[in-house]
Amino acid sequence: MEIKLDHIGRRFNKEWIFRNVDYRFVSGQKYAVLGPNGSGKSTLLSILLGNLTPSEGELKYSDPDTPVEQVYQHLSFAGPYLDLVEEFTLTETINFHFQFKNYAQGLDAKALIGILGLEKAKDKALKHFSSGMKQRTKLALACCADTPILILDEPTSNLDEQGVAWYHELMSRFAGNRITVIGSNQAHEYDFCDHRLSITDYK
């Protein structure tokens, strides 16, 4: 899998958020999309996800060729603003999610709950989870799916020090043979990434 950005730009009203982004994301590599708050990191990630159309330029997925409207089948995403169904239990959430995605090799619902360390909360509704437990759940759902693209925005939001360590273990296990993109402005979230793309270079 490869994602190619060819002179990508995005504007809101008359203001350009970024312009002329020429970049390639390739399998087996980890990328950090960097920039201060409000710089356009999440906007660029939304374009990669197919949620936003670029105002100029061309976006291509090669597998060998995947239309933008079908790319959701090939990617997993987690962000702090992504909502979970609060009324679902953890087990129901996992079972629902994996109706649409396959598990990574060797995993099932029981194994995923074990990775989360939430065996005692498997039948608890998510509305009773702490913000950190919800963030862990989002990350595990994304990372444990068998998809060639993994995109995470501000992955350690709402995580304490122990949660950050857990996140790094998750990355070391599941960020290998895929395109991994981390949107962040905190070094501990992307210090393992091979490449850096700074939004401020494209203003």
pLDDT, tens digit (0-9, with 9 covering 90-100), for 66-125: 777 778 889 999 998 899 999 999 999 999 999 999 999 999 999 999 999 999 999 999
CB 121 within 8 A of CB 129: yes
pLDDT for residue 64: 64
Hey, is 69 helix, strand or coil? helix
Cα separation of 118 and 157, whole Å?
A: 19
Cα three-residue angle 93-99-141, rounded to 5 degrees: 50
What proportions of the chain, in percent to the nearest 5, are helix, strand and coil?
35, 30, 35
Q: Please write the tens of the pLDDT for every residue from 8-48.
A: 999 998 899 999 999 999 999 999 999 998 899 999 999 99
Identity of the residue numbered 122: K
Residue 49 DSSP class: H
- What average pLDDT does the structure give for the chain? 94
pLDDT for residue 160: 96
Write out the H or E segment, with its range, that includes residue 162.
Answer: helix 161-174
Q: Please write the tens of the pLDDT for every residue from 152-185.
A: 999 999 999 999 999 999 999 999 889 999 999 9
Q: What is the value of pTM for the model shown?
A: 0.94
